[in-house]
Chain A
Amino acid sequence: MFSNEINESKIMLDTIINGVDDGIFVVDKDLKITLFNKKAVDISGFSSDEVLNHPYYEVLNFVFEEDENNTNDFIKKVFTEGIVEETTQNTILFKKDKTKINVSYGANPVKDEKGIIVGCIVAFRDVTKETEVDKKKTEFISIASHNLKTPLSIIKWISEFLLDKKIQKSDAEKEEYLNDIYLTNKRMIRLVENLINIFHIETGDGFTIKKTSVDIVKLIDISIEDNQQLAKSKNINLVKSEGINGEILIEIDEGKIKQVFNNLIDNAINYSPDGSTVNIDLIKKEKEIDFVVSDSGIGILKEQQGRVYEKFFRGDNAIEKETSGTGLGLYISKKIVEGHGGSIRFESESGISTKFYVSLPIN
């Protein structure tokens, strides 16, 4: 009767240990693994036979992410100091197939009735995805704050300069500075719009396409006008093809498509040499309409062409020319265009030119 009860308790305990969502293992006072639950097998890739009765350090290699040569020997610490150890620094576990995963852990000493440590019980979980999301978030905040602070400091410095009565300024100089404030402010508005879009895309909340009937010819005129000052500051000729006239009505989200046009025109201007020309064209086909922006700028490096729509991606030659980009414009543009059932593509030759096509369906 008594042994039956023990047996039932053991079965119950085994069921609990193997049913939990954390990897669990127990190390005895000889540092050998005496228990290795099902989830621990799933996470580490080692079968229980491969780890049971082996010293834990021969099979489970926990290291610090910052320096992979440095073992995070939290189990040893539990034995020597008798304290509970938890993740304080990013930690990596090498799986059986030598791939790396980020893990979090909690390790508790097991004590006998005299308080002597006789073992250590460790619970751990795979946090690779969470760690990656955290890193992306940190990177995003750092990029976003740097990119927001730069235009803010430009506006601050110029305003101070204009307000300083001790410094003499001609009317022409004042106008030039005001123009700088205007362009910088515009750059910031676009950045904020892009950041808001990213937020909506990331959270899956609020990124909806609200279509109305819009005259796309008029929308192109507005986008060109929006970018005229920027083009002028670089002495770039923004040319609309003669074929763009009349009224062409299509069902689109006006604000979002305008953002796509602005992102593409803005890129074309920023990555083109001073004094060059950026051409804008509209090609009407039977079932779709193509918006085309072509420049004679730095182009996209051939080996990086497959990555241009990745979030935060910026070409090496783009970074070298212009440090202030976010690598968000094309990512967002693609999402918006695809949200309309359209497509975006480009032709580019590094150092020579880039041509972007946005195809939108005509309903």
Chain B
Amino acid sequence: MKDKKIVLITEDEKVLRETLHSGLEGENITVVEARNGQEGLDLSLSLHPDIILLDLIMPKMDGLTMLEKIRNHDAWGQKVPVILLTNLTSSDEQRNNDMARLTPTYYFEKTEMGIEQIIEKIKEILKVQ
């Protein structure tokens, strides 16, 4: 058993990545950052984080491709909860299809959700007291 839960933030916008990281500090969580989908995939497979925060549009590998690779990789990959954070305007139908196909996946729009709500959601998923 790991002492601390690991949260992987995969986000190409440095400021968003760092703000999320700072927001999660002091929550008895180990935060790891990835700058693109490829880094996110490598870190996911080596660290097996307890939750992944995932941007969709990123260089080198986009978020959905990274998520599909994780889901198809192993038993851990099939179960790890993922929060998609995006500003992409996609149709509800497309979004619902993606989420059903890649469950357990949650979908947050960055402009809709505040940092506090995202942190609450992470804690709820991880059940960190």
- Give A residues with C-beta under 8 Å from B: 141-142, 145-146, 149-150, 152-154, 156-158, 160-161, 164, 167, 177, 180, 184, 319-324
The 9 closest A-B pairs by CB, nearest first: A153-B110, A149-B87, A320-B59, A180-B15, A157-B19, A153-B111, A157-B115, A149-B111, A154-B15
A-B contact pairs, 11 of them (CB 8 A): A142-B89, A146-B57, A150-B13, A150-B110, A152-B111, A153-B16, A153-B87, A156-B114, A157-B110, A161-B115, A321-B59
Chain A residues contacting B59 (CB-CB under 8 Å) are 319-323
B15 pairs with A158, CB closer than 8 A = yes
Looking at the complex, which one of A152, A161, A322 makes contact with B19 (CB distance below 8 Å)? A161
Interface SS majority for chain A:
helix
Contact A161-B12, Cβ < 8 Å, known A152-B111, A320-B60: no
Complex: A149 Cα to B110 Cα, angstroms: 8
Q: Which residues of B contact A (CB under 8 A)?
A: 12-13, 15-16, 19-20, 22-23, 26, 57-60, 87-89, 109-111, 114-116
- Chain A residues within an 8 Å CB radius of B116: 160, 164
Nearest CB of chain B from residue A71's CB, rounded to whole Å: 25
Contact at A160–B87, with CB atoms within 8 Å?
no
Q: How long is the Cα–Cα vector from A319 to B36 in the complex, in angstroms?
A: 12
Query: In the complex, A149→B89 CA distance in Å?
Result: 10
Choice from B16, B26, B57 contacting A323 with Cβ under 8 Å: B57
Least CB separation from A321: chain B residue: B59
Cβ-defined partner of A154 (8 Å) among B16, B26, B89, B114: B16
- Which residues on the A side are within 8 Å of B115 (C-beta)? 157, 160-161, 164
Q: Which DSSP category, helix, strand, loop or mixed, fits chain B's interface? A: loop
Give the residues in chain B near A153, CB-CB below 8 Å: 16, 87, 110-111
| Alpha-carbon distance between A164 and B111 when the two chains are bound, in angstroms | 18
A157, B58: Cβ atoms closer than 8 Å = no
CA distance A153 to B115 in the complex (A): 10
Give Cα A149–Cα B87 distance, bound, in whole angstroms: 6
Partner of B15, one of A142, A184, A319: A184
Q: Nearest CB to that of B58 among chain A residues?
A: A323
| Given A149-B110, A153-B111, A157-B20, 18 new contacts (CB under 8 A) | A141-B89, A142-B88, A146-B88, A149-B87, A153-B16, A154-B15, A156-B110, A156-B111, A156-B114, A157-B16, A157-B19, A180-B15, A319-B59, A321-B59, A322-B59, A323-B57, A323-B58, A324-B13
**Chain A residue with Cβ nearest B61:** A320
Distance A277 CA – B109 CA, assembled complex (angstroms): 37
Q: Which of B12, B15, B26, B111 has the most A CB atoms < 10 Å from its CB?
A: B15
Q: How far is the CB of B63 from chain A (nearest CB, A)?
A: 11
Whole-angstrom distance between the Cβ of A289 and the nearest chain B Cβ: 37
- Min Cβ gap B52→A in Å is 18
| Shortest Cβ distance from A154 into B: residue | B15
Instruction: Decide: A150 near B87, CB < 8 A? Known: A319-B59, A322-B59.
Output: yes
Residues on the B chain within 8 Å of A156, using CB? 110-111, 114
CB <8 Å contact, B23 and A154: no
In the bound complex, CA of A306 to CA of B19 (Å):
39
Bound-state CA distance A146–B115 (Å) is 19
Q: Which of chain B's residues have a CB closer than 8 A to the CB of A167?
A: 22-23, 26
With the chains together, A132 CA to B60 CA distance in Å? 29
Closest to B88 in A: A146
A161 touches B22 (CB 8 A): yes
Chain A hits for B109, CB < 8 A: 149
Q: CB-CB < 8 A to B87: which residues of A?
A: 145-146, 149-150, 153
Q: Which residue of A lies closest to B19 (CB)?
A: A157
Nearest to B59 among chain A residues (CB) is A320
Shortest B104–chain A CB gap in Å is 24
